Amino acid sequence: MAAARIRVQRRPVHGVLLLDKPRGLSSNQALQRARALLRAEKGGHTGTLDPLATGVLPLAFGAATKFSAFQLDADKTYLATLQLGVRTTTGDAEGDVVEERPLPAMDAAAFDHVRQRFVGPIVQIPPMHSALKKDGKALYEYARAGIEVERRPRGVEIFELEFTPHEVRGRCATLDLRVRCSKGTYIRTLAEDIGAALGCGAHLTFLRRTATAHFRIDQCITLPALEALSEPQRDARLQPPTALLGAIGAITLESEDAGRFLSGQRRHGAWPDAEQMAVYGREPEAFLGTARVVAGELIPLRLLSPIEISQMLVARAVAGAPA
């Protein structure tokens, strides 16, 4: 007789966990592992990393999921390794080899000339093996069925790009990249395009995200390290939902105005215009949500519920965190 499955009792958890995603797990699989360890009722990730990739994956739980979009729009930084001379069906090491060509013999100036072609605004065609959707279905689902669909070119921007070539018998065999780029950039596509520009083709063999917005890899925790902690220690790894907001302005409201703001009412004051502001209540000191300011009018955008605020205040008191 099969053993009965132990049912995990979920609880309200509100905050941001900076996870160092391991290779071999999808972003959702990594999220579910972390969510189970925290026993969190609700969770989401802030932008996918391929199973091949490792590194910074901010996970939002509870009230923090309302502000995940701030990270979806963030700049990202990656370290990557390209295998030159070999193209694959997927653009990475998981695909089948479709072409092999001679490795390039290039000096530093020639490599730098190619590098400069990819710095600044560029256009990419999204890869078939990606989570981008067409007609409600992810592109990788079409790819697995052997179907290739038309993809529209997308404009992205490469802010920084560094090349470190590695030679074997006088020929460049691999190329390490450090890339800081805008949202929506596909490093797998960048690898293939760089390989084409070098005249030999290439595919991605290593990808590690080292930063997203202001979050860095040295702030992250691995799943085994998280598993080794007690539940209070895991909770202590959570950053508040406001960690997702970055460097936006803040407004503090008195109790009466805070209550009306939470009910969706607009407030008026001498505030400068802003597309996004973090809004706090004074008594008790608590994060209420985000708002837009137009001509001195505070317009609610994303709001926490009174229950979420109460739960966060209780958790803060239990942890002994300063107000």
Output the pLDDT for position 129. Answer: 67
Are the CB atoms for 24 and 177 separated by under 8 Å? no
Handedness of CA 148, 153, 154, 158 (dihedral sign): positive
From 20, 50, 92, 257, active-site residue: 50
Q: Whole-angstrom Cα distance, residue 216 to residue 228?
A: 22
- Across the chain, which has 323 residues, the per-10-residue mean pLDDT values are 66 97 95 97 89 95 94 93 94 91 87 96 82 68 71 92 88 94 94 95 96 96 98 96 93 93 93 94 92 96 95 86 44
φ, ψ of residue 147 in degrees (nearest 5): -110, 130
Q: How many CB atoms are located within 10 Å of the residue 57 CB? A: 27
Output the pLDDT for position 1. Answer: 46
Output the pLDDT for position 72. Answer: 83
Q: Tokens standing for 198? A: 């070098």
* Residue 163, burial from CB neighbour count under 10 angstroms (0-12, 13-18, 19+): middle
**12 contacts: CB under 8 Å, gap ≥ 6:** 40, 41, 62, 308, 311
Residue 28 CA: distances (Å) to CA of 22, 42, 49, 193, 294: 12, 13, 9, 28, 38
Q: Whole-angstrom Cα distance, residue 321 to residue 301?
A: 27
* Residue 96 among the catalytic residues: no
> What type of residue sits at position 241?
P
Output the pLDDT for position 318. Answer: 82
Q: Whole-angstrom Cα distance, residue 144 to residue 242?
A: 39
Q: Whole-angstrom Cα distance, residue 309 to residue 312?
A: 5
The residue assigned the tokens 């901010």 is 58
Output the pLDDT for position 267. Answer: 93
CA-based max dimension of the chain:
74
Residue 71: name the closest of 237, 183, 178, 160 by CA: 183
| Domains and their CATH numbers in the chain | 15-73+214-236 (3.30.2350.10), 76-204 (3.30.2350.10), 248-319 (2.30.130.10)
